[in-house]
Structure 1
């Protein structure tokens, strides 16, 4: 999925300016989403929880769009024209509906509920995403992962994986990246990561063994869930800093709750993110934009999409200045 904002913000994510960790975060920080239209007068609206001023990364997870349930007969569904990416991986995960993916590797794949489609952009890739005619209700998440310096120019790649459901005491998990509840995804990552769909039974309490070196984010799709005792409502993202080897989740509703659990070791590199590019400085972003506008071979060509590709938005009239996670007093950002 593309960041379709007309004036995308530049962001720097990772270590503090002096390279030292800041004060310990509150136990659970609750992040609210902002609505972003996905383009056009009948645009489908997505709820974006990453990046934002309160937090720009959870592990290497740097972008989270949550959308639906969306009636495509009313909105037109998803139609994201070919657009570029550098320095990141895209992760597509659906709850309902179907999306057609095409990329400049020559991949033509369908995204189905409960199946992972992961695309590695590396030095440069382009792709399109369109909901199919078989889709009536479109509902899912689109996530990005920042690539570390050592691997950010890696070759383009595409992976598809169907995780098996793992029964929990009080719910079910589908682990699409990393390891949880005795299951491990075979899909390779370039930093330690966790990505899983969790469904909690009505009024169930589930305690999971997690990596104490990870920071974790819980995106609630259905219901209301207490994360380590803190309520996280639908569409919100709860953040938990590293330091604990267990995570307790409680479904406080009479119906099943559905969440996406993200995790990873803190991403300590400093990066700049603007539009669909992740780089290490202003000039690198300028160069990537120029090459996309010039139809450079760097991004290849998406075959089979009926329409024009997305043009890059104009750059701001200033140097792209990075920005990190702000330090907040313990009383702020929590409930």
Structure 2
């Protein structure tokens, strides 16, 4: 998914709620995506830039696209990251410079690994369901994967289990003994939790992971804090379990991973380690190098925005500047 902001989003919302030293409720903000879609950006934020290697989280919809085009994101580049796409409603067609054309529907997962460089487009098909609702996430790649070959994978089936009053789908990583087939490059977790009743539900966690929880629909309560669409609850590290309760039918997304310690430069659609690396990626895209051509999409590629007049600096997971 193409980022329309010239600089990485670092929200500075009023009244950020701090619950305890390891738990912070972070309100997101709305960002236009292409011509027809607005998303709620939950990461990165000034207070918390990452959860594990998850470095970018957009929640879009639910939106009525019966009388308008829906998602229309023309060809654009990526480097240094994986994109993870998960739909609750609707359909989106992915096309990329490797020659893949793949519609994604609810319950399916797309994972695109950019490596050193790839380009893709994302569009609602002409004949589409009336609602569009889903998540687009990025995962920062470590060395040597970030300099490796590009790849794309579609997973039509994912592990799913019922644990008490929770219906759990494991998107990436492992939870309660169930492992996703999706390939990732750092210890990571992404799971959809659907509440089956209003009774409290508990899941086992890894103490070495940090976690974040967001509501895609409905709401839930954790540690006395209400989590509703439009915010991300950062849960910190050191938890052996997660207990939550909420409205029956609520669908939540649990993100986790070992803290990603490498400082990153995030600008437009590139995740790098230095100013020079991002400049080179932009130059290659504008010159038609490295990222290839999206097969089957006749639209012209998106031009990269102008770089800022000041030097791009790396930030660590806590937002501290480096270099």
Using structure 2 for the length normalisation, give the TM-score: 0.92
Say whether 1:96 aligns with 2:89: yes
**1:319 counterpart residue number:** 311
Q: Counterpart of 1:331?
A: none
Residue 169 of structure 2: aligned partner = 174
Aligned positions, number = 308
Q: Counterparts in 2 of 1:81-230, with a 5 A limit?
A: 81-132=74-125, 133-161=127-155, 162-230=157-225
SS at 1:292's partner residue? helix
8 Å Cα contact 1:10-1:321 kept in structure 2: no
User: Distance in 2 between the 1:55 and 1:213 partners?
Assistant: 18
Structure 1 SS opposite 2:159: coil
4+ runs deviating over 3 angstroms: none
Q: Determine the C-alpha separation between the residues in 1 that align with 2:172 and 2:63.
A: 26
Structure 2 equivalent of residue 333 of structure 1? none
CA shift in 2, pair 1:157/1:326, >3 Å: closer
- Counterpart Cα distance in 1 of 2:96 and 2:203: 36
Which deviations, in whole Å up to 9, do the C-alpha atoms of 1:189-210 show, x marking residues without a partner? 1100001111012313111111
1:305 to 282, 288, 297: 297
- Give the equivalent residue in structure 2 for 1:76: 69
Aligned counterpart in structure 2 of residue 265 of structure 1, from 248, 252, 258? 258
| Residue aligning to 1:8 | 7
Deviation at 1:235, TM superposition (A): 2.1
- Looking at structure 1, the residues matched to 9 and 85 of structure 2 have their Cα atoms a distance apart, in angstroms, of 23
In 1, are the aligned partners of 2:29 and 2:230 still within 8 Å (CA)?
no
SS at match of 1:238: strand
Whole-angstrom distance in 1 between the partners of 2:189 and 2:223: 18
1:74 & 1:55 partners in 2: Cα distance?
A: 37
| Deviations, residues 276-323 of structure 1 (Å, cap 9, x unaligned) | 001110011011000000111x10110111311111011001101233
Q: State the alpha-carbon separation in 1 of the partners of residues 105 and 242 from structure 2.
A: 29
Q: Distance in 1 between matches of 2:307 and 2:68?
A: 29
Q: Is the 8 A contact 1:123 1:152 kept in 2?
A: yes
Change (3 A) 1:129 1:326: closer
**CA separation in 2, counterparts of 1:242 and 1:150?**
26
Unaligned runs of 5+ in 2: 11-19
Q: What's the CA shift for 1:74? A: 4.4
CA distance in 2, matches of 1:228, 1:183: 26
Higher relative CO (Cα under 8 Å, sequence separation at least 6) belongs to 1
Higher mean alpha-carbon deviation, 178-187 vs 109-118, is at 178-187
CA distance in 1, matches of 2:180, 2:199: 25
Is the CA contact 1:174–1:197 (under 8 Å) kept in the aligned structure 2? yes
TM-score by length of structure 1 reads 0.88
Tell me if structure 2 keeps the 8 A contact 1:28–1:230: no
Match runs of 1:236-275 below 5 Å: 236-251=231-246, 253=247, 255-275=248-268
Q: CA deviation at 1:233?
A: 1.7
Residue 31, structure 1, aligned to residue 26, structure 2: yes
- Counterpart CA distance in 2 for 1:285 and 1:303 is 25
